Chains A and B, each alone.
Chain A
Amino acid sequence: MESAVKDWIKADETAKEMLTRLFTERPFLPLPPPLHKLPLRPGNVVEVAGPPSSGKTHILMQAAISCILPKQWKGVQFGGMERLAVFVDLDCRFDVLRFSRLLKHKLIQANSNDMKSQTQYDKELFAECMRRFLYIRCYNSLEFLATLKTMNKQLQKQKDIQGVGVHLLVLDSIGAFYWMDRALPSLLVGGSNRKSLSLQIVMENVVQDLQKLLLVHPLLVLATKNSISGDKSTADELMRNTSSGPRPKHREYMPSVWQSFVTHRIHVAASEHNGNHQRQHTYLTEWILPSVNFSDRFVINEDGVFLIS
């Protein structure tokens, strides 16, 4: 009895041990720009918000690539995480050919630092990286929920096969079924305590299932969200006080359960600042949560996302 109590009050580990454990299990993740400025770790939920065609999916693809790239391979440094990345395609628009081109470019780029050939990449390494990329698409919220409910099993299976765990879970995009869910029929057959499907219930369960996953797997959740701009009321306001007052960039429409689940939020938008906007479209980022006072400007070209100063 006494020893049990002693065992119970004995410290499990020192603070130093705990920190070392945390930093190996849930280290800060080296994410590519424009997500590089804030230290992000597994457990964080990052929302990339912005209007359509503002480069959101590209940012996610780059993040997934840095997750599946190895740290080093045959003496060449790649600086990746060498972990599995899960891509849940809710918009059903993922272009795998584009993704593989971006990955190949990264492989060639790392090689060319070595003054080797400029267009060759290691096919074996390419295959290994692509195997670490797990993809699923969902056409509606029920499929999304079914995916989340069974994802733990799938991730465990993949972890056993591939020998490495998952570090990144990408959701593109979280508001994809918003309108369909809002119009779900709320019929209650069989008792008033039966949960009827609604946007609220769906999002509550999505968040709940994600939280369960986060407990078991050291995951960084990266989700895009289409921001709705240019609705009638803001347009009218703009007409009234032109040039005075900043334009509201972020109008929240997701249920509060999702909003409070998000730990970091970055806003991206196409920038109209640039004078010569015939060829090069530039994009501007802004951290909203935490609201820090720097913004990055980037371009997207054949080879990926690049910061410009």
Chain B
Amino acid sequence: MFNFMKLEMKKHRLKGLIRGVISANIVILALITVIFFAEKSNRVIAFPDYTTLLAAIHSFIRPTMLMFTGVLLVRLIIDEGRNKTMSLMFMYPVTRSKVMLYKSVMVFAFGFLTIVLSNVICGAVVILVNPAVGFVSGPFDLSTLSKFFMQVLIDGLIIGGMALLPMYIGIRKFSVPATLVTTAILVILLLTQLGGSIPVLVSLSIIGLIAAFLAVRKINVMDM
């Protein structure tokens, strides 16, 4: 499985996408800094404590990484179907269901890992530079951090599942716009009040996993 994933990464030039994720992290850090100094000039404290600061970072990371994961879904599955390179994949000595399963796992893992790692990296940066910049004047304690980290892990899993939801819609005609629009709708949803509702997100994530399962089953019997 890991060998297959490595080949997929090489074939689809996923290094480029990862570079994009890194750039996005830098932009998010820049935004946080801008917000902090803008509020400071208004004599408002933007981030009273670490919880608010980390939550703000996380609220930027979540929709951004969902969008990146949508792009990965397009590259790994939708584009291959549209360009008919999928039929080449299906002539390799691997069953169709495995090909599709591995690709879906990659999408899920990418959503999860980019969210978790981006939070870890951005969080580490702000905590490390805090003594110099002074984002937060309040105390730093490990229990805040571990509580936050738990939430990030759960959100990572949720977003990973959600990212698969557009697959079912996308494979109907292997349509890139349909896939990206569905992803964009989910991104917008994350930015509304519904994005804070765990039941809503968990349901969407479960629907995403079911959608992926149905999509794999559909492709399994599809005439290419």
A and B assemble together:
no
